[in-house]
Amino acid sequence: MLNLSIRTLGSNPRHHGRPMPGSPYDISKNSAAVQQAVLGAAHSFNSQSNDAFLFKPSAVLRAQRQVVRGIRYIVDFQISRTVCPKRNRTSDLDRCHLQPPGRLAQTFRCHLELWLIPWKPGRETLELQCRSHQQGPVLIQNRF
């Protein structure tokens, strides 16, 4: 069983009061790029989990961006179990409400690193790790 900690980056490195070129810096958790990245990670989580219900993003905890031969996004977020059964295969997670508090409610904390290279099609997931909210064993871990 793997038991890895979620790695988050510290404060934004600065040089003469400005962010250092090439270093990660905080961005809005509500930006379209972050929301799209988190939604894509939730779909990946759902395709890899054996859970009977779909999960959807419930909170973005931290979002960073780094410009390095493209754009690298580093996002810590939570996904929570919905009331939508996985067998229904709905792709619109907005229509799926979260499980009410109780036995079926479950939340995972995830760490995502995604690389967007504008001159190449698609995006490359460098890392996706999810573990139970109580810091249990890693449920989903992908290092690409």
Long-range contacts of 1-9 (CB under 8 A, 24+ apart): 1/137, 2/137, 2/138, 2/141, 3/137, 3/138, 4/129, 4/138, 4/141, 6/76, 6/109, 6/111, 6/129, 6/131, 7/111, 8/62, 8/74, 8/76, 8/111, 9/64, 9/74
Sheet of strand 25-26: strand arrangement: 25-26, 53-67, 71-85, 107-116, 123-132, 138-143
Query: Residue ranges of the chain with pLDDT lower than 70?
Result: 1-19, 89-91, 133-144
pLDDT of res. 53: 95
Which domains, and CATH codes, for the chain? Answer: 24-143 (3.10.450.10)
pTM (two decimals)? 0.79
pLDDT of res. 140: 60
pLDDT of res. 120: 86
- Give the 3-state secondary structure of 23-47: CCEECCCCCHHHHHHHHHHHHHHHH
